[in-house]
Copies of this chain bind each other. A is one copy, B any other.
Amino acid sequence: MENDLIMFKNLLLQNGYKFTSSRKHILKAILNSGTHLSAKEICEKVKEYHLGLATVYRALKLFNKLGIVKEITLSDRSYYELKLFSKNPLHIHFKCFKCNSIIDIDSQDLNLDYLKLSKKAETENNVEIYDSNIMFVGLCSKCKGEVKCQDEQNLEE
């Protein structure tokens, strides 16, 4: 079992939760994907083990509570991505309204600015910030020039 998985196992056990095979498979799916997945997508990735959607949701909720994954909500769906032990614990998301793709904006520079902004907001407003989300919406580099696009729906409407 990979190192990360062992850490997650301990984290669960230390908090009084069981490290079941369902949870292991779900965790592995998220670990291996390296991106944000919806509950349904995760269910797809582990379908060989026949886990119910409800189980996936319950596991994700738990992982979110333990800080293992981060939930990002978008219009009407939620996506989950690795948060703990991730190489990029903090990052900015960009959503293209034309092709609907979501990309991670990762630059040392931007993340630093982001962090600074967060700290400033914290002190200026006398609040305690535990988490934050930034989502930019616009046209991705591919769609900027194109007239046609993989998802025409948003254009026509």
Contact = CB atoms under 8 A, between A and B. Distances in A.
Interface of A: 65, 71, 73-76, 78, 92, 94, 96-97, 103, 105, 107, 109-110, 113-114, 116-118, 120-122, 124-141, 144, 157
A133 B134 contact: yes
Contact of A138 (B76, B110, B131): B131
A130 B75 contact: no
Q: Which of A105, A122, A132, A134 has the most CB of B within 10 A?
A: A134
A-B CB proximity, top 8 nearest: A129-B138, A130-B138, A128-B139, A126-B141, A131-B137, A132-B136, A128-B138, A133-B135
B130 A97 contact: yes
Given A136-B131, A144-B127, A117 B110 contact: yes
Nearest to A94: B127
Contacts of A135: 132-134
Contacts of A132: 134-137
